A and B are shown apart, each in its own frame.
Chain A
Amino acid sequence: MNIRVKNLNKRFGSFVAVNNVSFEIESGSLVALLGPSGSGKSTLLRILAGLESADSGSVWFGDEDATNVHARARAIGFVFQHYALFRHLTVAQNVAFGLDVRRVPKDIALKRARDLLALVGLGGLEHRYPSQLSGGQRQRVALARALAPEPKLLLLDEPFGAVDAKVREELRQWLRRLHDEVGVTSIFVTHDQDEAFSVSDRVLVIHQGGLEQIGTPTEILDHPATEFVARFVGEVNVFRTIVKQGQATTGSLIAQLDEDEAHASGAAHLVVRAYDLKFWREDPGIATVERVVTLGDRVRVQAIVDGAGPIVAQFPRRSSLLKGITPGCRIQVEVAAARTYPANSEVPGLSIP
């Protein structure tokens, strides 16, 4: 079932939670709603579920206008961040709940619950209570419970936010495999870009209630539509710059811009990803290295560019680019890829050094 959202708005008092959002999601895809906390992505998800009502706009499930359909009748599955399992029911009774309330015969409901628990890898735990399970197990019970009534749309609100890092990584891979197996259209909310990019087919970047960009992970990484997206995704450097003849100049730092970037001229913001930089030792060069920090398989180099200020680059640990780079040495800087955005579009919440 494809999902369409048209001009959705929602305010809480004077706070704008969802600001004129429209998008379409094709049937069977796994989509991430990515944004910083407080960006309105959870509210958007709850409106899709029918747990909140929008002030204006409409939600379409296939050809059906679902805007005023009650949450109970929307045929969606919802997975809550803190599981929300029924604590007085066993695991099997939890999973069978959605079938029980539809008056499905007990034996059929329990059979389906057992099958689903086997699917999520929890066979044999049917008679446990939620309090006897680990966080990762609880979240899988919650997922099985949401899938039991065969929803047309699965919604997950920060599904892996409450489990520790290692379990989270396992659950992500597992969710992707499960989605490919079950094939139900799924939307999940996350503030973690790794999660969004590693699991989903498409990513919707949400900022201050508005939709900044919708696209595949590659599109969003390579062609960020707005300065917010460019700066939110990955570690970036931002400079106030002057664009002239396809070149952006900030102090001693000069960046060659792509064809499609070189259109404008004048004041702009230059956004350079930490891994789109090349450093090599050169005297006099244009920058001085300040710190070199090893982060597992990557190395982070901080330097000060003459007339432009601090810059951060990341290199693979064994990269030849790191040869001879030590704190205090002079280096040359090459910008491999960069994007510019209009200088007048200040991004609230993000300052420029």
Chain B
Amino acid sequence: MQRTDVMPITAAPQSAAVPAISPTWTAVGRGLLLGTVLLYLGIVLVGPMAALFVETTEIGFAKAAEAVLAPAALDALLMSMILVVIALVVNAVVGTLGAIAIVRHRFVGRGALSALFDLPLAVSPVMIGLAFILLVGRGGTLTPWLDALGWKVVFSFPGVVIGTLFVTLPYTVREVAYVLEEIGTSEEEAATTLGASPWQTFWRVTLPNIRIPLGYGLLMTIARTLGEFGAVLVLGGSISGQTQTATTFIHDAMEERQEASAYGMALVLAVMSVGLLLALEWAKTRRQQVLKRSST
């Protein structure tokens, strides 16, 4: 309460109905609030991360590094990276087009489409994996058709890709749609009256305006792809060298009591997460600046 010295100038005579709160108690209250939040974060976030670090130290970093550089581990990491690239490309396109469709066009079922994009946030990935298996797995409705085409979806690479694309669907659409709504259509209309074609308007006006939220959504997509477990396990089956990703690798290593592999891979993912977090923070400040500029 640095400003208590200014109080007498503006304060009305203290009425009986509103008892004065002393600055000391306000400070105590603030301290309690902050303390609770920090304690909670310590328990659920910092603690486990520190434990992971300490455990890896006990095993020895050299041993953990060796385990992560083993062929099976590298395959799993490579699989995660391939999924990241696919998710980035697909979500960049689908996210942008989907957001433009939801925000800029008026059609029957627009609300339903908008809700569909949010579905993966509400539905458990494991459940969706299961639903896919019922559709395209052994004895599934579409299985005879896929067999005739010679396509194998479940427990194969396409299955992992489908699972990943499903869980990462909402992030770019949400972010881009929100900013498109805030910015409005007048800049695009201005471009049109100045003679720009729809193509020119998109590349020169719309895309520059949504590049920050698109980037933010894509960073979230990377984080989600790297962290996804349920959908890729159910649809991919964690077959080493084929459908195993970094997270399913950790799971299998734990099952097989190969601590060095599990901790090493977990540390690799943790380091990536820190990098992503920093990038997200940066994108968030940039996004605020963009929105602020639109309102002034």
Chain A interfacial positions (CB closer than 8 Å to B): 49-51, 71-74, 76-78, 80, 82, 84-88, 97-98, 100-102, 130-131, 142, 145-146, 148-149
Instruction: Give the docked Cα–Cα distance between A98 and B194 (Å).
Output: 5
- Is B8's CB within 8 Å of the partner chain A? no
Known contacts A145-B194, A149-B194; A84 and B189 CB within 8 A of each other: yes
Most chain B CB inside 10 Å of its own CB: which residue of A72, A102, A148: A72
- Is B193's CB within 8 Å of the partner chain A? yes
Known contacts A86-B205, A131-B296; A101 and B186 CB within 8 A of each other: no
The stretch of B28-36, B47-55, B159-167, B196-204 in contact with A is B196-204
- A-B contact number at CB 8 A: 70
Instruction: Give the docked Cα–Cα distance between A210 and B91 (Å).
Output: 48
Known contacts A97-B194, A98-B195; A78 and B189 CB within 8 A of each other: yes
Instruction: Give the docked Cα–Cα distance between A174 and B283 (Å).
Output: 41
Partner of A80, one of B186, B197, B293: B186
| Residue ID in chain A nearest B205 by CB atoms | A86
Q: Which B residues are in CB contact (< 8 Å) with A146?
A: 193-194
Partner of A51, one of B192, B209, B290: B192
Instruction: Give the docked Cα–Cα distance between A72 and B192 (Å).
Output: 5
Chain B 167-211 per-residue mask, 1 if CB under 8 angstroms from chain A, else 0? 000000000000000000011011111111100100011001100
B293 touches A86 (CB 8 A): no
B193 touches A101 (CB 8 A): no
B193 touches A51 (CB 8 A): yes
Known contacts A87-B209, A88-B208, A101-B200; A76 and B193 CB within 8 A of each other: yes
Q: How far is the CB of A103 from chain B (nearest CB, A)?
A: 10
Q: Which A residues are in CB contact (< 8 Å) with B195?
A: 72-73, 98, 101-102, 149
Partner of A87, one of B189, B197, B290: B290
| Residue ID in chain A nearest B208 by CB atoms | A88
Instruction: Report the interface size class on chain B.
Output: 20 to 34
Q: How far is the CB of A320 from chain B (nearest CB, A)?
A: 50
Most chain A CB inside 10 Å of its own CB: which residue of B195, B196, B209, B294: B195
A71 touches B193 (CB 8 A): yes
Chain B 253-296 per-residue mask, 1 if CB under 8 angstroms from chain A, else 0? 00000000000000000000000000000000000001001101
Q: Which A residues are in CB contact (< 8 Å) with B296?
A: 131
Q: A80-B190, A85-B190, A145-B190 are in contact. List 5 more A-B contacts (CB 8 A).
A: A72-B197, A80-B186, A97-B204, A146-B193, A149-B194
B192 touches A86 (CB 8 A): no
| Residue ID in chain A nearest B183 by CB atoms | A87
Chain B interfacial positions (CB closer than 8 Å to A): 186-187, 189-197, 200, 204-205, 208-209, 290, 293-294, 296
Q: Which B residues are in CB contact (< 8 Å) with A148?
A: 194
| Residue ID in chain B nearest A81 by CB atoms | B186
Instruction: Give the docked Cα–Cα distance between A98 and B193 (Å).
Output: 9
A72 touches B294 (CB 8 A): no
Instruction: Give the docked Cα–Cα distance between A146 and B193 (Å).
Output: 8
Most chain A CB inside 10 Å of its own CB: which residue of B193, B197, B200, B290: B193
A-B contact pairs, 18 of them (CB 8 A): A50-B193, A51-B192, A72-B192, A72-B196, A73-B195, A74-B193, A78-B190, A84-B187, A84-B190, A86-B187, A97-B196, A97-B204, A101-B195, A101-B196, A130-B293, A131-B296, A142-B190, A146-B193
Instruction: Give the docked Cα–Cα distance between A162 and B162 (Å).
Output: 50
Known contacts A87-B209, A88-B209; A97 and B293 CB within 8 A of each other: no
Q: Which A residues are in CB contact (< 8 Å) with B204?
A: 86, 97, 100-101
Q: Which B residues are in CB contact (< 8 Å) with A49?
A: 193
Q: Which A residues are in CB contact (< 8 Å) with B197?
A: 72, 101
A80 touches B194 (CB 8 A): no
Instruction: Give the docked Cα–Cα distance between A80 and B197 (Å).
Output: 19
Q: Which A residues are in CB contact (< 8 Å) with B208?
A: 86, 88
Q: Which A residues are in CB contact (< 8 Å) with B193?
A: 49-51, 71-72, 74, 76-78, 146
Q: Which B residues are in CB contact (< 8 Å) with A101?
A: 191, 194-197, 200, 204
Q: How far is the CB of B257 from chain A (nearest CB, A)?
A: 54
| Residue ID in chain A nearest B197 by CB atoms | A72
| Residue ID in chain A nearest B296 by CB atoms | A131
Q: Which B residues are in CB contact (< 8 Å) with A142?
A: 190
Q: Which B residues are in CB contact (< 8 Å) with A131?
A: 293, 296
| Residue ID in chain B nearest A97 by CB atoms | B194
Q: How far is the CB of B208 from chain A (nearest CB, A)?
A: 4
Instruction: Give the docked Cα–Cα distance between A145 and B205 (Å).
Output: 15
Instruction: Give the docked Cα–Cα distance between A100 and B190 (Å).
Output: 14
Q: Which B residues are in CB contact (< 8 Å) with A84?
A: 186-187, 189-190
Instruction: Give the docked Cα–Cα distance between A73 and B193 (Å).
Output: 8
Known contacts A72-B193, A101-B195; A82 and B205 CB within 8 A of each other: no
| Residue ID in chain B nearest A80 by CB atoms | B186
Q: Which B residues are in CB contact (< 8 Å) with A130?
A: 293
Q: Which B residues are in CB contact (< 8 Å) with A74?
A: 193
Q: Which A residues are in CB contact (< 8 Å) with B209?
A: 87-88
Instruction: Give the docked Cα–Cα distance between A84 and B192 (Å).
Output: 12
Q: How far is the CB of B180 from chain A (nearest CB, A)?
A: 14
Instruction: Give the docked Cα–Cα distance between A77 and B191 (Å).
Output: 10
B190 touches A87 (CB 8 A): no
Instruction: Give the docked Cα–Cα distance between A291 and B236 (Å).
Output: 86
Q: Which B residues are in CB contact (< 8 Å) with A98?
A: 194-195
Q: How far is the CB of A75 from chain B (nearest CB, A)?
A: 8
Instruction: Give the docked Cα–Cα distance between A84 and B196 (Å).
Output: 15
B293 touches A71 (CB 8 A): no
Instruction: Give the docked Cα–Cα distance between A78 and B186 (Å).
Output: 11
